[in-house]
Structure 1
Amino acid sequence: MTYNESSFRVLKGLEPVRSRPGMYTRTDSPAHIIQEVIDNAADEALAGFAKKIQVTMYRDGSVAVGDDGRGIPVGLHPVEKVPVVVLAYTVLHAGGKFDKTSGASAYAFSGGLHGVGVAVTTALSSRVEVEVKREGKVHQVQFNNGGREIGEIAETGSCGRQSGTRVRVWPDPKYFDTPKVPLAEIERLLRSKAVLLPGVTVTLEVEQTDGSLAKSEWHYAEGLTGYLREMAAGAEPLVPILAGESYAQAHEDFAEGEGAAWAFCWFDGFAASESYVNLIPTVNGGMHESGLRGGIFEALKSFVDLHALLPRGVKLQQDDVCGKMSFLLSARLLDPQFQGQVKEKLNSREAVKLVSTMVMPQFEAWLNQNVEMGKTIAELAISQAQSRLKSAKKVEKKKSSGVSVLPGKLADCESENIVDNELYLVEGDSAGGSAKLARNRETQAILPLRGKVQNAWEIDTDRLFANAEIHDISVALGVDPHPVDAPESVLDHLRYGKVVIMADADVDGSHIQTLLLTLFLRHFPLLVAHSHVHVALPPLYRVDVPASGKKRPARRLYCLDERELAAVRERLAKEGIKPEALEIGRFKGLGEMNPEQLRETAMDPATRRVLPITMDDIALEDTKELFCLLMGKGEASGRRAWMEAKGNLVEADL
């Protein structure tokens, strides 16, 4: 096959979405591309300009979404010279939700800044019709064939003082596993919008076989409390549902208006939760949920200490308090950062402190005003802690025979519950010292490694312990080397649920990671197969952002590599922050980080980045073949040929 200049292809417009739809949306059904349209209507309501959201599902598979908001502008964009409504539906990275801090944005709070939004809906639909009521006139425009055909904007009538937008979408079946929009998912989404938007009426109409419309309408007089009670479906609450909300004022540490509303409770036999950010459902949770749990845990822990309720030898952990708790959380962030375009998980680290700061004082005050009910919650948490400790003692009893002497340089954790315990294998003594100060002594152990671990790919098992570092790792873990077909009983004495490799974000650090992964894959394969092995991803850059007015205090951001640094610079530039105002520092290694920075970026479960290492049975032989090529002593010529063929793909930090 010829590879020359003509082989290079540039995807323009919406072609990237049509070529790789899975990178931009869910492809199991069109639910998410419909949600993008609903979210636009909800953003109008969140901004205070819409009081009605109406969704109609037709028998031909199309879905219409209408609101009585301001209506999308139909005039020409001052720079692009294209109608704004056309830009919104056909251009990626275009919208009215940027420039939030400069005051030029049309929305103070909205569902994210990934910049693709409803343009993905157009790209994956056979037809999209948009009707806009604005400034006394009705305009219509149509997009066909995935946005390849754009109709003219036509003025079709007058609307008096009415305003709003109605969008009808025909999803293209060829992009989805099933072309049918799931009714239950849309109902659940609309019901949550009604809960989270006080004063807004949310309606769903479904066309029946006889052409009539079956109508559902949602209204929750009690807001989050009523919704949580409905979710519990009659389960008995152990204490009354606790609800509250709090938003930052202009003089506080957060942007004005940022904050959260919540409702939580402990039910008998029921535990389910939902969370949202700017009305976007975050089905995989994220930092705001970590903040809620952290605030509730700290408040209850203070209450327990104040009243001396904790039995001797028992220490509360967050999961003891929150493991069986049900909650609803609606966070409001000025500039949320999500994981992926589907926005199923919130990645904004500042949300941990934001939500925790809002929740903790209110819950702590309630506990002290309702001491008996507070004691009921405390007793439930203490009971969970005692069950956990009892389970841990059983594990200890199984491994009590033949225990080796633990390495002297191991800073062990206090907990004996292997589900929670983590062992950090840290490159270098200096980084190991910082890690010891940064760790959670209850559940995190530190084992510093001196230099690089020996390449163990071709070492026989009976010679493996001649290397002191490998010996210490095996003894600390409580697991002996074993083959891939060993029985699972070899993990009976495992002392940590997670083994986290933490090395510098440079070439040497990558080499150490590779050597340790070689050791685990070759001699401890069941640790990899059962997802016990993880790799920490410490940042290479620190970006100090100055305060910009009352809305945005000073921030400290971390970037994994050059690509993230470039993305952060671009995002901050859009916020109106001058490049010369940024202070950018490059970490030469983990030892340069102070304990607080190391805790935030690599060790705190709420904010760290840790990559799990998994073993795919299908690709196992290919993996072994590649490791033989890379790590085998007799493969020098093969490695050279491989590097000559693949060397251009390496992103090396030299």
Structure 2
Amino acid sequence: MATKASDSRASTYYDESSFRVLKGLEPVRERPGMYTRTDSPAHIIQEVIDNAADEALGGYAKNIHVTLHHSGAITVVDDGRGIPVGIHPEEKIPVVVLAFTRLHAGGKFDKRSGNSAYAFSGGLHGVGVAVTNALSKRVAVEVRREGKIWQIDFAEGGEKISPMTEAGTCGKQTGTRVTVWPDGKYFDTPTVSSVELERLLRSKAVLLPGVTVRLDTEQANGSTSSKTWSYPQGLAGYLIELAGRAENIAPLYAAEKYADSDHADFAPGEGAAWVIGWFVEAVSSESYVNLIPTVAGGTHESGLRAGVFEAVKSFIEHRALLPRGVKLQQDDVCSHMAYVLSTRLLDPQFQGQVKEKLNSREAVKLVSSMIRDPFEIWLNQHVEAGRAIAELAIHQALARQKNAQKVEKRKQSGVAVLPGKLSDCESTLLTENELFLVEGDSAGGSAKMARNKETQAILPLRGKVQNSWEIDAGRLFANAEIHDIAVALGIDPHDNSTADLSALRYGKVIIMSDADVDGAHIQTLLLTLFYRHFPALITAGHVHIAQPPLYRIDVPASGKKRPARRLYALDEGELAVIKDRLLKEGVPAHAIEVGRFKGLGEMNPEQLRETAMNPATRRVLSVTERPEVQTKALFNLLMGKGEAASRRTWMEANGHLVDADI
């Protein structure tokens, strides 16, 4: 027995040798989901296509040719400048090897120093084709540059690299050919969806005037089917294709606008191209940032809607078209609008490496300012089209107000007196109303000044809400905070996830607490209340958690190209990434000022609005119940009064997983 006990201690011994350092591309292979989508190899192929598209965006390539081989391999060819093959001055290895084997290396950094290969590209993550290499059995690269053809192969996830060889001459031809054999063990399916690939390539043709994009697909019988895309009409032609037979209410409006060297707020070349239209039937919209499709939208789409709304609102006001008592809202103008938006942004920040949603706050101001004035001028030059759009928006506003009045009549008979500390919103439309449960009176004061009075209500909470896990529903209202929350929501406690929510007063309930341990505790207590006594709110997707930042980063101005900036970081990890990005941009470390928010009360209303309340720029998490987790048992363990011993055991086993904010 003594020997077994000794062996057990030895197997769990924790010392310096227990630490493992992941080097090179090993982190990607260890945790591929952190770097790319793992449902299929589509995204690692997109990284190669994006590189070819960046060459075309810079004006160096006119053709992009993709071949889907019957064997499962994919080849991407462009006639751009070709990846540099010379020795890097600092790393002392060929640049093409750096691109395919080193994370955070590429030609998209140092944009302001003049040493960047691309003024505009799909982000500054710098992982790109290195991730493609890490998750592939083999990657073969052929570069045509400076009259010579160079070849190099990477195998076994980039572990084996063949010597770079000169394979001949090419005259004045230039370009890059990359063939990828994805490793199926990292993906749910080893094949790329041809439908998804076609959609991606078609969008590149739309966004790159004068560029021809071709897809060849090898068939089992040895034949090859081909598709070629080229859009001489650009964005307008693409929206016409998306609309199909949908009836349009007004002619399409297509334009573009980019900042020049004298622009006060944005770098030269930043801006957008767009086409917008209004249709009777629903028509899908698409958006892009530096040719990267943003399927989940983001701040550039918010800027487009804001600019369009302001232009239409101004057109209506100047012509006194709005009936008395009607208040126009953005959704009234944009609900029947379809668009294709292509934004150029110097340093785009995306949500995750997959880049499906743009998070850059400056994109709201960039796009809205670029489209507002030109569109208002267009409306005044095309008065009939402007009136048609205005009439549709006014009709939507009247319908919305009529619907809201019906809801109010159903509620009036038995409504309770609302809490005195509740700052309610003006709207009664459930789909747009939001209730913020805010920690502390000081933060509540800032939130009241930062909110949109039309749609956002504030309920400050004094102190911590009572642990309600083991409280009977009949005794809940003895606690003043819980009483006020229930009355503000307009619904009674219930124990069934399918309970009637017809009297609910807000479509979103957003918990907004400090980004510290106490704030996390308040979140837990409120989630306990909702899960135990208002489960239908969670099931229906009404409960959310705001994510205010922990750090503020002040960046000084750098000439005319970029004014002073204020950035925000959610935690220390984001702070490190932002610092690293700023250093690569050439901002001196001593010029970067970092401040830490001790709580929401320290934020002024403008900062709070930008980071936690404005739907266009805030970060909010939706609360859902994960089916693979025994949620009820976990709540009972963490919140049950008789579970102290079990909690201690659980914390001893899992405490090392927590980053304590002490």
TM-score (norm 1): 0.96
- Asked if residue 262 in structure 1 is aligned to residue 274 in structure 2, the reply is yes
Q: In the TM superposition, what is the alpha-carbon distance from 1:486 to its structure 2 partner? A: 5.8
Residue 623 of structure 1 aligns to which amino acid in structure 2?
Answer: T
Task: Confirm whether residue 378 of structure 1 aligns to residue 419 of structure 2.
Answer: no
Q: Which residue of 2 aligns with 1:639?
A: 647
Q: Aligned ranges for residues 383-398 of structure 1 at < 5 Å?
A: 383-398=395-410
User: Amino acid of the residue matched to residue 536 of structure 2?
Assistant: L
Deviation digits for residues 468-522 of structure 1 (CA, Å, limit 9, x no counterpart): 1111110010011111x26421x11000000111112222222222221121111
2:497–2:539 contact (8 Å) kept in structure 1: no
SS state at 1:289 partner: helix
Aligned to 2:571: 561
- Does residue 279 (structure 1) correspond to residue 279 (structure 2)? The answer is no
- 1:303-362 C-alpha deviation (Å, 9 max, x unpaired): 222222222332222112112211000000111111111111111111111001101111
Match of 2:469 in 1: 457
What are the superposed Cα offsets for residues 108-128 of structure 1, whole Å, 9 maximum, x if unpaired?
Answer: 111111121011111222221
Q: 1:289 to 1:26 in 2, by over 3 A?
A: same
One-letter amino acid of the structure 1 residue matched with residue 472 of structure 2? D
User: Equivalent residue for 2:352?
Assistant: 340
Letter in 1 for 2:193: P
CA distance in 1, matches of 2:194, 2:636: 51
Which sections of structure 1, spanning at least 5 residues, go unmatched?
none
Verify the 8 A CA contact 1:398 1:492 in the aligned structure 2. Answer: no
Q: 1:176-195 residue pairs with structure 2 within 5 A?
A: 176-195=187-206
Deviation for aligned residue 1:92? 1.7
Find out whether 1:583 has 2:574 as its counterpart: no
Decide which of 569, 583, 586 is 1:573's aligned counterpart.
583
| Mapped partners of 1:122, 1:160: distance in 2 | 29
**Alpha-carbon separation, structure 1, partners of 2:571 and 2:34:** 21
Q: What is the correspondence of 1:58-457 to structure 2 with a 5 Å cutoff?
A: 58-252=69-263, 253-457=265-469
Partner Cα distance (2:638, 2:245) in 1: 59
Mean Cα displacement is larger for which, 174-183 or 571-580?
Answer: 174-183
| Comparing 216-225 and 388-397, the one that deviates more | 388-397
Please list the CA deviations of residues 604-653 of structure 1 after superposition, one character each: whole Å capped at 9, or x if unmatched: 0000111111123442xx32233223323333333333333333332232
Cα offset, 1:570, TM superposition: 1.3
Partner amino acid for 1:518?
T
Count of residue pairs brought into register by the alignment? 650
AA matched with 1:164:
G
Partner residue in 2 for 1:32: 43
Structure 1 range deviating more: 153-162 or 173-182: 173-182
Question: Does the C-alpha gap of structure 1 residues 168 and 401 become closer, same or farther in structure 2, counting only changes over 3 Å?
Answer: same
Structure 1 residue 551: Cα displacement: 1.9
What code does the residue aligned with 2:244 have?
A
C-alpha separation between the residues in 1 aligned to 2:653 and 2:190?
42
**Partner Cα separation in structure 2 for residue 632 and residue 88 of structure 1:** 53
Instruction: Determine if contact 1:288/1:355 at 8 Å carries over to the other structure.
Output: yes
Report the 3-state secondary structure (helix = DSSP H, G, I; strand = E; otherwise coil) of the residue aligned with 2:275: strand
User: By how many angstroms is 1:533 displaced?
Assistant: 1.0
CA deviation digits over 1:182-220, x for unaligned, max 9?
222222212211111122222222234453433322221
1:54 CA displacement:
1.3
Structure 1 residue 396: deviation in Å? 2.5
Could you tell me how far 1:268 is from its partner in structure 2? 2.5
SS at match of 2:412: coil
Structure 2 match to 1:524: 534
Is the Cα–Cα contact under 8 Å of residues 242 and 283 in structure 2 kept in the other structure?
no
Pairwise CA distance, 1:371: 2.2
Equivalent residue of 2:420, what SS?
coil
Q: Check the 8 A contact 1:294/1:318 in 2, yes or no.
A: yes
Aligned-pair CA distance for 1:281: 0.7
Contact 1:338 1:347 in 2 (8 A): yes
CA 77–535 in structure 1, closer or farther in 2 if over 3 Å, else same: same
Percent pairwise identity = 71
> 2:507 corresponds to which residue?
497
Shift of 1:440: 0.6
Deviates more, 1:331-340 or 1:505-514: 505-514
Per the TM alignment, residue 414 of structure 1 is displaced from its structure 2 partner at its CA by 0.8
Cα offset, 1:297, TM superposition: 1.0
> Structure 1's 63 and 636: CA in aligned 2 closer, same or farther, altered over 3 A?
closer
Q: Which amino acid aligns with 1:451?
A: G
SS in 2 for 1:419: coil
Whichever residue aligns with residue 327 of structure 1, its letter is Y
In the alignment, which residue of structure 1 is the partner of 2:12?
A: 3
Instruction: Supply the distance in 2 between the matched residues of 1:487 and 1:29 (Cα, whole angstroms).
Output: 36
3-state SS of 1:448 partner: strand
Q: Residue 520 of structure 2 is aligned with which of 496, 506, 510?
A: 510
SS at match of 2:49: helix
TM-score normalised by length of structure 2: 0.95
Shift of residue 411 of structure 1?
Answer: 0.9
Contact 1:421 1:498 (C-alpha < 8 Å) held by counterparts: yes
Instruction: Describe the shift of the 1:61–1:411 C-alpha distance in structure 2 as closer, same or farther (beyond 3 A).
Output: same
- Asked whether the 8 Å contact 2:438–2:458 carries over to 1, the reply is yes
Q: Distance in 2 between matches of 1:618 and 1:134?
A: 53
Residue in structure 2 matched with residue 541 of structure 1 by the alignment:
551
Distance 1:459 1:359, change over 3 A: same
Q: Which amino acid aligns with 1:560?
A: L
The answer on whether the counterparts of 2:625 and 2:631 sit within 8 Å (CA) in structure 1 is no
Q: Secondary structure at the match of 1:204?
A: strand
Cα distance change of structure 1 residues 506 and 270 upon mapping to structure 2, 3 Å threshold: closer
Q: What's the counterpart of residue 3 of structure 2?
A: none
Gaps of 5+ in 2: 1-7
Whether contact under 8 Å (1:101, 1:552) holds in the other structure is no
Structure 1 counterpart of 2:348, one-letter code: P
Question: In 2, Cα distance between the equivalents of 1:627 and 1:327?
Answer: 45
| Alignment partners' CA distance in 2, 1:482 and 1:247 | 55
Question: 1:454 and 1:555, CA in 2 relative to 1: closer, same or farther beyond 3 A?
Answer: same
2:653 aligned counterpart, secondary structure: helix
Q: 1:431 to 1:139 in 2, by over 3 A?
A: same
Provide the C-alpha distance between the structure 2 equivalents of 1:147 and 1:526, rounded to a whole number of angstroms. 50
**8 Å contact from structure 1 (residues 399, 492) kept in 2:** no
Give, in whole Å, the separation in 1 of the partners of 2:481 and 2:63: 65
After superposition, the Cα gap between the structure-2 partners of 1:216 and 1:644, relative to the gap in structure 1 and judged at 3 Å, is closer
| Alignment-mate amino acid for residue 488 of structure 2 | A
1:397-442 Cα distance to aligned partner (Å, 9 max, x none): 3323311011111111111111110001111222111111111111
1:66-108 residue CA offsets vs partner (Å, 9 max, x unmatched): 1111111112222222111111112222111111122211111
Contact 1:295 1:360 in 2 (8 A): yes
Residue aligned with 2:486, SS: helix
**Corresponding residue number in structure 1 for 2:633:** 625
Shift of 1:595: 1.1
1:203/1:487 CA distance change after superposition, 3 Å: closer
